[in-house]
Amino acid sequence: MSHTAHIPSHRKPRRSSSKLALRAGVAGGVLSTIAVAASPAQAEPVTETIEMPTLTNVDLSGALSTAVAASAEATEQDALAQDLRVQEDAAAAKAAKDAKKAKEEAERKAEAERKAKEAEEKALAEAQERASRSSERTSLSASSSSQDGGGSSESSYGDSTATGSAAAIVAFARAQVGDAYVRGATGPNAWDCSGLVQAAYRQAGIDLPRVSSSQSSMGTSVSLDNLQPGDILYWGSRSGSYHVAIYVGGGKFVGAQNPSSGVVEQSMDWDAPSGAVRIL
């Protein structure tokens, strides 16, 4: 006996051939079963043919044309709708603008009518005041003439009673007595000397120059002892007068004298004129 016989061997024991054959047979059977189960069933042969529709170039072209036409029509409809909206918006804006303009015009017209009415009422009130003032002066004048002994209009200046155009000039001049004197003013509530004379003569349809020196150069020169109502009195030289007034009869004149006196009716003795001219 070897001295190593008692030591167990490290090699694996050999398997018997019978066991190996058995295991191989089992494995082969399993694989065969799996192969049979996995193999697809034999399909039945197709006996019917399905025919697919054939698309030709004509069909494709017609469909494309139809689609393009539909798209163009839709685009055109959108454009027309948008254009209509633009026109409606423009019409609405124009209507609003016209309405605003008409309202403003109506307001301006109403304001102008209101101002015209106020001016008319003011002018009427002033005319009534002037008439009342003139009536009071006429009463005072008549009373004064009566107290002076007989009310004769004769004087040392040789005048006669004013008639016709002269009466209109005198009446207008006397109606302005009490108004203010303002240099360069031509009425209706303020005057300078030549402005008052010019306006008085306009009542008789006669247009005179604006300044006193030109007014005193008009007409015919008359002496102060042969005056008639309506004659123009002047102070200074005839061609270079610095002041004018209207002779109203009874040795008196009406004139826009100065800022402190205003329009007054005074005796010629109060401020003797240099001369006179007759236009009428």
pLDDT in tens, 53-85: 555 555 567 777 788 878 888 888 888 888 888
Please report which confidence band the pLDDT of residue 179 belongs to, taking 50, 70 and 90 as the band edges: very high
Judge if the upstream peptide bond of residue 188 is cis by omega within 30 degrees of 0.
yes
pLDDT in tens, 113-169: 787 677 667 656 665 665 565 555 555 444 444 444 443 334 456 566 778 899 999
Are 245 and 253 in contact by the 8 Å Cβ rule? The answer is yes
Q: Which among 176, 180, 178, 182 is positioned nearest to 197, based on CA atoms?
A: 176
Report the C-alpha gap between 215 and 277 in whole angstroms: 9
Q: Which among 244, 251, 212 is positioned nearest to 229, based on CA atoms?
A: 251
Are 267 and 252 in contact by the 8 Å Cβ rule? The answer is yes
